[in-house]
Structures are given as structure tokens and as C-alpha cells.
Chains A and B, each alone.
Chain A
Amino acid sequence: MSAVVATHWIACAQRFEKNAATREPAWVKRVLIAIALTFFGLFLLLPLMTVFAEALRKGWQVYFAALVEPDALSAIYLTLLVAAISVPLNLVFGVAAAWAIAKFDFRGKQLLTTLIDLPFSVSPVIVGLIFVLLFGMQGWFGPWLMAHDVKIIFAVPGLVLATIFVTFPFVARELIPLMEAQGREEEEAAIVLGASGWQTFWRITLPNIKWGLLYGVILCNARAMGEFGAVSVVSGHIRGRTNTLPLQVEILYNEYQFAAAFAVASLLALLALLTLVVKSLVEWRGRQPSNAGEESQGVPA
């Protein structure tokens, strides 16, 4: 899952296919490829194609009509708004956490790393529940919030909080292994030569981590825009006001407006495809200059 999964494809596969000791009989190879591709088609390709096929089943006109409908537009706006708040916050956190963990030694580092991963192991539904318990009408801060006329649950702040929680680890866990692998010599050299802390960060660290950072942000954004369970609990499903795109998909689907539901879903599927394209680009870039040395090490001379 790391940004720099070394997929030196062709060289790797070729090496094994030509070596008598690492080669399977042709029929085994064919059967395995057939199994993998069937599994791929059934569980990955078919669902993806279904989204677009169902969205366009009633034609382009119905498709575009579903997207420019006021509720859909407000869902698009709200989804963008929630992502625009939560992604930058988690970006700043991710960089700060990675700087502390990768560039310094301190006690409890392992524990801190585990705690940062914690949100991944919490069911989205429980994330929603947590914020309802804190800020809902019956919650701890509920009466106080009511008295001061602040709405968090069933309003945008609740959506943002739940989204931040769910996407919390993405940037940090991309950056920590990357920055640990890069070590601290370059930054130390910059400091010794008289650069300030910020100069070192902007001129040395950031250029080194930019691809990993981009990948982390893209993943974080995909999840922020697509989160369903956590957001569903805190949103209250108020049409045109607290519905994000995934919730809009659910409402349309439950109202048997399948073409419209899949039309809205197709926007999210396009976002997912874009995410995968950026990921492939980042991996490809990550392999190019800096990892060239690493790669040649792997191939015996």
C-alpha cells in the first residue's frame, strides 16, 4: 500500500519465466492467470462497469438531468466543502506527525504510530456514534450547544468531524515510512550550513516527499468524498442541506430512482478512477530518479 511499491514488472516477470527453476508448466500458468482474471472480472471490473452501464441505461439526457438537479448540486457542493476542510487539516497533521516520528527519536514512538492508525480499525458507524454521543441532543455537550444555538450533529460541522476522524491516518502513514527511509542527513546538512528550519523544510524535505505527499492527499481526499457510514450517522439526511454525494446515492436508490442513483454514483466512480490514475503516476514517478539505485541492487549482475 505504500507509494513506492517497487513494481519493476517486466524485468521481474521475465526473469522468472525464463528460469527453468522458477517456471511452472504452461498449463499451470494458464490456469492461474485464468483464475486471477476471472476473480478480477467478477469482483472488480464488473461492479465498476455496472455503475456506468446503469447510470446511462436511460440515456444521456436522464444522466445529465440527474446531475444538475438542485439536490444533487447541493450534495456536490457539500461534498467538496467537507473535503476542502478536512483534507488540509489532516495534511498539516500528517506532515507534523511524520516530521516528529521520522526525524527524531523519542520514547513511545511505536505507540504513537499505532495510535495514529487507530481510526482505520474503528467501524465508520462507531465513528458516527462517537460524535453523536459527544455533540448530539442527548450528548455531553448537547444541552450547552443547544443553549448557544450551535448545531454540530445533523449539520456541516458534524460531517466534517466524522470525515476528519475517518481520514485521519492517510497522509501520516504515507509519509512516515517514506521520511524514515530518507533519513535525516540532508536536513542536518542544510541546518549546519545555516538554513532556517522552514527553509530546510521547504527546500529539502518537501521536494523529497512531494510524490508520497500527493498520494497521501489523493487517498485522503477519495475517502473524504466517498465516506458513507460515519457521515450517514451524523448527517440526519436532510435533503439539500446535509446530504453528501454518497448519502444522495443512498436516498435515490432507496426511492427506486436507480438511473439517478447510479448517475450520482458514477461521479464518485470517476473520482475513484482518477485516484487510481494519480496513484499509478506517483508510483511511476517514485520509481524514476531516486529509486533507480535501489532497483539495480535487486537485479543480480
Chain B
Amino acid sequence: MRAGKPYRVLPGFPLALGYTLVYLSLIVLIPLGAVFLKSATLSWEQFWAVISAPRVLASYRISFGASLLAAAINAVFGLIFAWVLVRYRFPGKRIVDALVDLPFALPTAVAGIALTAIYAGNGWLGQWLEPLGLKVAFTPLGILVALIFIGLPFVVRTVQPVLEDLDAELEEAAASLGADRWQTFQRVLLPVLLPALLTGFALAFARGVGEYGSVIFIAGNVPLVSEITPLLIITKLEQYDYVGATAIAVVMLVVSFILLFLINGLQFWANRSRARI
């Protein structure tokens, strides 16, 4: 389709690329490099002592654990959600579909105070849940609720287009070979959807690990119990412990970058298996 021209017909390449590189370097790359350079002022032992302190370790457990669990829950319900949006008709479907993106558009602080108001002891849901012994607000469960909210659209919006592209023939073939609907889903549809599902899962997880605004209101922020890693960075900053804050930030950045490359790989895989169908 695209003619492989040996010379460039279109103008503006040096300007566009040059501007892109300069802007990218000034805003993103050089500032990010500053964090790594700052952490280099620590010796390895000091660095290790900061990032493996009990309170810090507990915050990793909470941040990564809650994000993982929230992403897993979103993978299940996000898949059902995308399925229902693509395959079924029901009243209000357009509005439901449009509102799936709400967590992308709603500022995190607003989501945070709204969720807290719902699940607090006197809240709409909290007043029913607390007598049952289920405290959500100001506990790790609250963190989970906030991260489910934040992560849902990632799964729905990566799975939905793949489901839409799927032709009926695959399932017709499975049915004509005697498979029931559940077998067809398990053996035919799930393998096709898996790359997109994993991409959505990883995106939701990555977002959850770094999430701050929607979590801090509902979390309670008790050290060792419900204190997330981003909050710990802020706490250290407020105590003027810049080096400590930077060391923890470096750990989070490394994890985020690994996740980013993983997601890129997953997306590549997803696009390839989509093209194959």
C-alpha cells in the first residue's frame, strides 16, 4: 500500500523530529534522569537500607498487592462488561458505554472523596456494610475499591475492540463441530481474547501501583497497614528526606519501566494475533 520511496517527498521532517526530541528531552528525559542521578548520591548500603525498611516493604506489599488484586478483579468483570457491551442489546447501553471512560475523565481527587463518602460508616453503602462487619473505608479494602474504579476502563477498552472485530464464523465453526457455548468460549474465544485481556490487566496494574489521588482519601493511611508507596514518598518529602523519597521513587520507576516494556510486548502480541484472525 505504502510506496517505498527512496527520497522524502514531504517536508518538515527535520523540524518535526528535532522539536519532538528537544521537547521530549527537556520535559521528560532530563528530569527523569535527575531522579536517578540524585539516588546515585547514596551508597549501595544506604540505598538498600532505605528501600528495605519495614515500613517501606509494607507499603510495597499494599501497593502491589492491592493493584494486582484490583487488576485481576477488573480482568474478570471487565471481560464480562466488554462482552455485554458488544454482544447484547439493553436499554441505556449507549450511556453505559460512554460512562465506562469516567475514571479516565474524572479527576482522581473527586473519585477519592466520592468513594469515601459512599463507603464511610455513615455512607450510602457503608451504613449497610459496617453492621455486617465489613469495613471498607479507611482499610486496605478501601484501597482495593479505589483501584478497581481506576482500572476498569483499561480492561474494557482493550478487550472491547477485539471482541467487535471477531467474526461469527469462528463460533459457528465451533458450534458445527459440536462444541457447546462454554466450550467455545473456553477453547476458541478466550485464547483469541487473551492477549488483549492481559494487556488490559497489565495497564490497570501499572496504573494502580502509581495511583495516589483516588486512594489516599479512602485508605486511612495507617503505616504498615494501609499506607501506599506513593504516599510514603510524599511523607518523606514533607520531612525533607529528599534522598529517601528519591530512593523509593527509583524502585517504583524501575518497576514501572519493566511494566511498560512488558505492556509494549503484550500489545505487539495482541496486534499480531488480531491480524492473524
Contacts and interface: CB of A to CB of B under 8 A. Distances in A.
A and B associate in one complex = yes
Interface string A26-37: 001100110111
Given A36-B96, A47-B111, 5 more contacts: A10-B89, A13-B89, A33-B84, A118-B257, A246-B110
A63 interface: no
Interface stretch (B17-25, B45-53, B54-62): B17-25
A5 B161 contact: yes
A222 B105 contact: yes
B9 interface: yes
6 contacts: A47-B118, A104-B10, A106-B13, A118-B32, A133-B34, A187-B10
Interface in A180-202: 183-185, 187-188, 191-192, 196-197, 200-201
Contacts of B90: 33, 37
B152 to A, nearest CB: 6
Interface in A145-170: 161, 164-165, 168
A238 interface: no
B89 A123 contact: no
A40 B113 CA distance: 18
B223 interface: no
Contacts of B149: 43-44, 47
Given A7-B164, A28-B181, A138-B240, A126 B210 contact: yes
Given A40-B81, A227-B107, A168 B12 contact: no
A265 B249 contact: no
Contacts of A185: 3
Contacts of B222: none
Residues of B in contact with A, size category: 35 or more
B27 interface: yes
B233 to A, nearest CB: 5
Contact of A21 (B81, B99, B172): B172
Given A118-B260, A123-B209, A123-B210, A134 B99 contact: no
B64 interface: no
B143 interface: no
Contacts of B261: 114
B124 interface: yes
Given A7-B97, A13-B88, A45-B99, A106 B17 contact: yes
A13 B20 contact: no
B29 interface: yes
A54 B117 contact: yes
A56 to B, nearest CB: 13
Interface in B95-128: 96-111, 113-115, 117-118, 124-125
Interface residues of A, number: 116
A27 B17 CA distance: 56
A73 interface: no
Given A40-B96, A44-B152, A47-B118, A249 B29 contact: no
Contacts of B176: 21
A64 interface: no
A168 B28 contact: yes
Contacts of B276: none
B84 to A, nearest CB: 4
A68 interface: no
B27 A272 contact: no
B105 to A, nearest CB: 4
A125 B230 contact: yes
Contact of A249 (B10, B100, B110, B161): B110
A164 to B, nearest CB: 6
Contact of B88 (A2, A33, A119): A33
Contacts of A174: none
B92 to A, nearest CB: 9
A133 B8 CA distance: 42
Given A165-B28, A268-B106, A16 B87 contact: yes
- Nearest 8 CB-CB pairings of A with B: A226-B107, A123-B210, A228-B213, A229-B212, A21-B175, A197-B11, A272-B105, A100-B16
A60 interface: no
Contacts of B9: 184, 188, 191-192
Contact of A22 (B38, B172, B259): B172
A36 B34 contact: no
B226 interface: no
